[in-house]
Structure 1
């Protein structure tokens, strides 16, 4: 079997899909994207295709090594995301060719269902509380929330208290048999993190995600030691070498993104590496159905999976949502806050090619907003 073509599709709301065809009619799908840089990643996929055309798609590890290390310049989110989508598609082809799910090729499933969480929005305490209750009624047992809007380098007592009030309102509404994860998107400076996190401890957050930007990874150990709250990070780390720095400093939850961190091949290695540090796995995935399917293949084979992010109904999904590009959306049916083991071959999903082609005719140019503080300086989004 030989690879004959690679084609990318930019589809709403902000995704990039990849189709890899072979001369035996077996097709694989991947999701190579950096949100807000989809066109750039698509161009990187096209450049990397020179290595793949005419090659055996089932030599996944050899392709991964060449695509990531064969060029003189290595690393970074664009290259690792392009490789991630290619890697997903190659695993999809291999599983389909052999008639088994990818998780079977990774050593078999270690669980029968995987816990998932849902996002909520809202800026006022009463809004986030009502949204959390709505997710609880839908059967979810955990949510994740943005902790704040833009913050000053060291913000006021009022801004600090507003963060605490949001979390407190949710805990009061949902009770103690429900988990609350808090995403800071790197909006805290290290001094603000040391101020804010101890104030959140009475509400027992599930974890706090990305309290500081990844450039501050060398200092995340100081934040870990300043609080009893489990610290999570990893959506902007792109390899096992990136994760080595934070695993050494005591994080509790590793959050590699299957569409950013080198795909299935690299994330399964990151998961095993994290396990050696007693660190749980919670793959980052506010993306599309191919990325989620890839996450689940790794998660069902990883002993240290904690929970899986999924994007159904997330605020980014304007115009299209998680299930819109699937022939059978029931593969992602959630019951009691869990998703069942996917049993189909490859990634376990069937992509609706006609829906993808229609969406690609429109495309997108999604960009994240540029936030500014009250003095006009750029703030973390």
Structure 2
């Protein structure tokens, strides 16, 4: 079997998506997805550069092809390259699983569990609106709820106001929902070290499952100080591109949970290695999965095959994102995600539906602080 073509498709549904199709001379194709939202053109350009390395190659040699894509440019690169490799790597695993007639989790060592706990996204303009969203989610069967700091319509990020609002939301949700519903707060790198410390200490009594990205990922050493000042479990990693970038967070025990994004951090090949790093430090996976159904499938197969798993992000359940375009064997029930075990990733492309999702390039929200300086979204 040989790779004959690599195609990219831009589309827009609830957010922009970049899907990759790797084709072979035996008619078996694989699907992948890039996670670098708002930088799709850059990733597509990198895939175009990598394509000539891959045409004519054996798609079963996944590790060899990964090393070739990562190292052939000589200069170590970052998230654009790793996101391009990720999309191709997922597609190669999909091809191999389909060719061998087994689900991808069998290629990764077989299943370690039957299903994976998942969490949804909630939120509101006021604490009362967030509470109402939480009530609705729990009534649908969700066991874990996630939300993030708010900002106002003028796009100004008011740190202390956002922190105080989130503390009140924690108080309301824990009081109403009781101890059995898990609460996840994604600070989304919006907070300063002072704000993050204050916030984490204030919500300790409400027992978060974890607080995610309280600080910017470039500032790994900042987590050292934060760890010394709070008992709240910390999670990070969604912006990281590879095992080397994860290394200080893992080896210095700066996090409790690893937010690996398979569509940014080099695909399943690299994610499995990061998961192994994490296992040696008793760090569980809480994978970052904010985009489409191919990403969801890849995350699910990683989680089904890994011993150290906490939860999987799931903002859209099976059938809720591009359902006419991507068919999937995923099953969600009562807060848990699993699949039927169809060959490959269990996803197929209905190419005629691509025209239903015309692409328009979008930047992520641009926030500012009161003085007009840039603030992370």
Normalised by the length of structure 2, the TM-score is 0.94
Instruction: Work out the CA distance in 2 between the residues paired with 1:174 and 1:364.
Output: 40
What are the equivalent positions in structure 2 for 1:1-381 lying under 5 Å apart? 1-13=1-13, 14-149=16-151, 151=157, 155-156=159-160, 159-247=162-250, 248-312=252-316, 321=321, 323-327=323-327, 329=328, 331-355=329-353, 357-359=354-356, 362-381=358-377
Q: Report how far residue 122 of structure 1 moved.
A: 1.1
Structure 2 unaligned segments of length 5 or more: list them: none
> Helix, strand or coil for the counterpart of 2:18?
strand
Are 1:289 and 1:325, in contact at CA under 8 Å, matched by a contact in 2? no
> Do the aligned partners of residues 79 and 159 (structure 1) sit closer, same or farther apart at CA in structure 2, a change above 3 Å counting?
closer
Are 2:35 and 2:261, in contact at CA under 8 Å, matched by a contact in 1? no
Instruction: Work out the CA distance in 1 between the residues paired with 2:342 and 2:150.
Output: 40
Instruction: Work out the CA distance in 2 between the residues paired with 1:231 and 1:151.
Output: 22
> Do the aligned partners of residues 235 and 324 (structure 1) sit closer, same or farther apart at CA in structure 2, a change above 3 Å counting?
farther
Q: Report how far residue 162 of structure 1 moved.
A: 2.1
Q: Report how far residue 151 of structure 1 moved.
A: 4.2
Are 1:230 and 1:251, in contact at CA under 8 Å, matched by a contact in 2? yes
More moved, 192-201 vs 231-240? 192-201
Q: Report how far residue 22 of structure 1 moved.
A: 0.4
Question: Paired residues, what number?
Answer: 370
Q: Report how far residue 72 of structure 1 moved.
A: 1.7
Instruction: Work out the CA distance in 2 between the residues paired with 1:220 and 1:352.
Output: 44
Are 2:331 and 2:339, in contact at CA under 8 Å, matched by a contact in 1? no
> Helix, strand or coil for the counterpart of 1:117?
strand
Are 2:21 and 2:31, in contact at CA under 8 Å, matched by a contact in 1? yes
More moved, 366-375 vs 77-86? 366-375
Structure 1 unaligned segments of length 5 or more: list them: 314-319
Instruction: Work out the CA distance in 1 between the residues paired with 2:48 and 2:123.
Output: 36
> Helix, strand or coil for the counterpart of 2:36?
coil
More moved, 210-219 vs 165-174? 165-174
Q: Give per-residue Cα distances to partners, 1:258-281, cap 9 Å, x unaligned.
A: 100000000011111101101010
Instruction: Work out the CA distance in 2 between the residues paired with 1:175 and 1:187.
Output: 28
Normalised by the length of structure 1, the TM-score is 0.93
